[in-house]
Amino acid sequence: QTVPATSQPGRVGDGYCGTNLQYDFDPSTGELVIFGTGDMYDYSSTYAPWESNYVKRVVVEEGVTSVSEGSLTTQLLEYIYLSSTVSDFSIFALDYFASIEVSPANPYYMSKDGVLFDKNGSVLICYPNENARTSYTVPASVKWIGPYAFFNADNLTQLTLSSNVLYIDEYAFKSCNGLLTFTVPASVLEIETGIFYNWESNQQVYFE
């Protein structure tokens, strides 16, 4: 991106990824740091400037307010950290990751066991599909499974929803091919399209 005309903080990175955002990439560790203030550029139809780098870890520092669609979709991430100022995290920002952590001071999001939730824990936003664990129980606080929440989480052979889940959003369990059996609890009132998209013929779904 072209350096904007607006004044910038004294810290200088490898380039810009927002009007007042910069980035630093350390090839020796694979760590990408986003810093500055404000929103990230939209990368839904263009490549992020770190596209050709092998990014392993991402740290989004204080002052950054968004992580945009397409910004990390070509990376296989071990870890991503969101600071307290991130208020807009696109579920289409990344495809493959093993863990996401959020600052406890963030008023919009929280994380537990590497999984991203809204702040009060009622919406499960996205599950780390590269996490090695084979079983996961959705916390009792969750009422809404978000869109694409478990996309490609094919390491899971057992996934348990609590009896408090009311709503399952679109494509929530897309390509979860490790689940041979799966039960939808009786509490669920509404299911959106494609939640079992790309499941195999040997996978069985039960409705209580």
What pLDDT was estimated at residue 123? Answer: 98
What pLDDT score does 48 carry?
97
pLDDT band at 98 (very low <50, low <70, confident <90, very high): very high
Residues 6+ apart with CB under 8 A from 71: 17, 40, 43, 48, 90, 93, 94
Average pLDDT over the chain reads: 94
The strand pair at 109-112 and 115-118 is best described as: antiparallel
Question: Which pLDDT band holds residue 11 (cuts at 50, 70, 90)?
Answer: confident
CA angle 5/92/187 to nearest 5° reads 140
pLDDT single digits (tens) 125-135: 999 999 999 99
- Taking the model in full, what pTM does it have? 0.92
Q: CA-CA distance, 178 to 97, in Å (whole number)? A: 17
